[in-house]
Structures are given as structure tokens and as C-alpha cells.
Amino acid sequence: MKRIVIFASGSGSNAENLIRFFLNNAHVEVTHVMTNNPHAKVLDRAKNLNISAFSFNRQAFSKSDDVLNILKTFQPDLIVLAGFLWKFPEHILAAFPNKVINIHPALLPNYGGKGMYGMHVHHAIVTNKEVESGISIHYVNEHYDEGALIFQATCPVLPTDTAENVAEKIHALEMEHFPKVVNKLLIEK
């Protein structure tokens, strides 16, 4: 059985979608959800689906081996960042080479980097009058949104679209493609 640990910071809609996708899968399971936000809605979503979930602070994550040691006990085959806003520390990346992936709500390398997440991205897309946006699923390295691309999907941005319209289109792409790409990565390993 392949094991996934999800990291999320907010509401957790992508995390819930992944959990539900793998609920009755004979080969892949989501074992844990971890968050840097003790008030994140993702904790409730995980609990409602009987997935162990807990929060941690920056000290445990970046400045000590606490989170790393917990991850080692979980032995994940893949660590999936689903709306996780902190930069992933190099000591954890080194312990799980090519096992940490992220989803980003734009077509990287455009609209990536520190501070480019969620509605910040969608507002920038609309402000710059882009005609297309999309999602990027990529490996995580020591730089924000610069790891090797795994998958991209696109959607049109109409001249009449607001940032909220773009967000809805991006969310639909995430819901459709993220679980399938994660499944493919694990089955092909």
C-alpha cells in the first residue's frame, strides 16, 4: 500500500478531494494530514473522513527535526502540498528526494514565487489581462515554485472574467486533475 501525507494551510478542499479519491483504493491511501495552522478547516475535513490530522509550529517544522522525525515514522511514498503556504525546509526535502509535490494555481514559471498564492495569483492574472491560466503540479525544491514540472492544465481567461471567476475555473481544474496525477505518480513508482 502506497502512503500519502498531505500538508495544507487552509480550508483543505484539495486535501478532502484527494482523501475521498483514495478512500476505497486498494493500492494508495492518505494516512495523515499536517498543517501549520491550528485553526485550519482542513483539520475538520480530515477528522470527518477519519484521517489523522495535526498542526505544528515553525520551530518544529523548520528549526528542528520534529516534523521530519514524525514523517519518518509515517514512511510516506509521497508528500503532497495542497494549499500549504510555508516554504518546505531543505532537511525534509533531502530526506524525501523526489517525494514532495505541490499544486500551484497558475501556469509556472509565470505567477510563482513567494507571496503568489490563491487570490493573489488570480488578481495578477486578471490585472495583466492574461488570456489563459491553469494549474501546475510540480516537484518541490528549495525555491518557491521552481521544482520540475509534472503536469499542467489550462483554462481560458475571458476579458470579462474577474479574479473570482478565474479562481472557480482553477478550482475545477484542481478537483479534476490533482488526484489523477497523484495516483499516476504513485502507481508508476
Active site residues: 104
133-166 burial by CB neighbour count: b if 16+ within 10 A, else e? bbbbbbbbbeebbebeebbbbebebeeebebeeb
Q: In which order are the strands placed within the sheet that holds 132-139?
A: 52-55, 28-35, 2-8, 78-81, 100-104, 132-139, 149-156
Tell me the pairing of strands 52-55 and 78-81: unpaired
* Residue 12 annotated as part of some ligand binding site: yes
Q: Which of 33, 35, 75 is nearest to 56 (CA)?
A: 35
| Per-residue exposure over 77-116, b if at least 16 CB sit within 10 Å of its own CB, e if not | bbbbbbbbbeebbeebbebbeebbbbbbbbbbebbbeeeb
Known binding residue 13? Answer is yes
Binding-site members are: 12-14, 58, 102
Binding-site members for (6R)-10-formyltetrahydrofolate are: 58, 102
